[in-house]
Amino acid sequence: MFINQYLYNRKTNIYKKKVIFIVVGRLNASLTTSKVLPIIATNLFSSIYVFRERAGDPIKGVTYITSNIPRFIKPAFLRRILQRIYEPIQLIYYSFKYKPIIINGYQIFPKGINSYIAARLTNTKCIISSIGGLPEIETYYQHKFLWRNLFLFFFRHADIVTTKGKTVTNYLIEHGVSSNKIFTYNGAINTDRFNISYNFKRDIDLIFVGSLIKHKGPDIFVQIVKRVQKTFPNVIAKILGAGELETHIRNMIKVLNLSLNIEMLGYVKYPENYYKRATIIVMPTKSEGLSTAMLEAMACGCIPVVSDIGCLTEAAINNYTAIVIDDYQDVESFSYHIIELLNNELKRYSLVNNAANLVSNKYNINTQSAIYKMIYDILIH
């Protein structure tokens, strides 16, 4: 009887409070903002709590709940273990405390799984959002078969699943996830911040944005710059991002005599200041969802030259908004099309306009907010 009364009270109260939890973990600040802005714009929630390892950019109407384990705890692997243990406990605790109507976890492991467990323990609706393309499900871990089946179990049993596009959606349907509960929700690009500005001079030819890890292709980017340099000796390139390959990339730049051509900038808080100066964003990536960095760059008039992978082609439409290369390792094809673009102002102008219009129409806050409203209506009503 006590349990029935608790569930009844909970059911009547949560519809009044309309609290939502967004669980993002280490998702970068810009990505976090892109996911949250359309949810704010729905005007459906009185309180929005974002669970993140560290507080992100200030957003009106959003409260961050952080889970950062102090850095003085050594060694690093112990800190990571404690982080993994603490985060689900924290999420469950706050779920009982604030009684959210929805818990939305971004990326299946561990945030999506944590969100599912917390939701089931507290009789809450659960959304799991896939953001990393097929490798997020297929994984780079050992024992891929076991991990994949575990992840698919949670996707099948979540109340709603969101993806970045058709590639992941079709994969999930083929593996037993009901098509009725899958929605494409990317999040919004804030065009007040990311837009074409004529106050900036296009003095950067090529830009790479992302983690300096193997499957993102920063080493391939350096090879591409070297090839382009043969035609444009003074080509200017910037690398925005940090990661485990940072020392390797610095050594490559030195060995290939590209120190005057490539500058490594590390993590940049306001990447739009570089998108607005850059002509081309190069993404020779092995795996990707639909890159928010690419959409932000497109909004700023920076042309994507990207590999045909994941959900990138949801927005990177070959010879319309971008140039798409079949093989992410094909340095020659990347270089050929980059040189062609640098030589062809008319083509650049066409691609820039098409890309900026696509982002403005498809990925604006109101359009993405309407998708989240639809998800809410199906999920709750």
Prediction pTM value? 0.91
**Does residue 196 lie in a domain region?**
no
- Same domain for 264 and 376, yes or no, is no
Mean pLDDT in residue range 179-198: 95
Say whether both 236 and 372 belong to one domain.
no
Tell me, what's the pLDDT at 1?
46
Residues 36 and 171 in one domain: yes
- Residue 42 belongs to what domain range? 2-188+364-380
**What's the pLDDT tens digit per position in 316-374?**
999 999 999 999 999 999 999 999 999 999 999 999 999 999 999 999 999 999 999 99
**Residue 100 counted as domain residue:** yes
The answer to whether residues 296 and 351 belong to one domain is yes
197 domain residue, yes or no? no
Rounded to whole angstroms, the Cα distance separating 236 from 203 reads 8
The residues facing 162 across adjacent strands are 129, 183
pLDDT tens for 88-144 read 999 999 999 999 999 999 999 999 999 999 999 999 999 999 998 899 999 888 899
**Burial environment of residue 358 by CB neighbours within 10 A (0 to 12, 13 to 18, 19 or more):** buried
Domain tally, the chain? 2
337: domain CATH number is: 3.40.50.2000
Domain-located, residue 95:
yes
What band does 77 get if pLDDT is binned at 50, 70 and 90? Answer: confident
Span 20-27, average pLDDT: 96
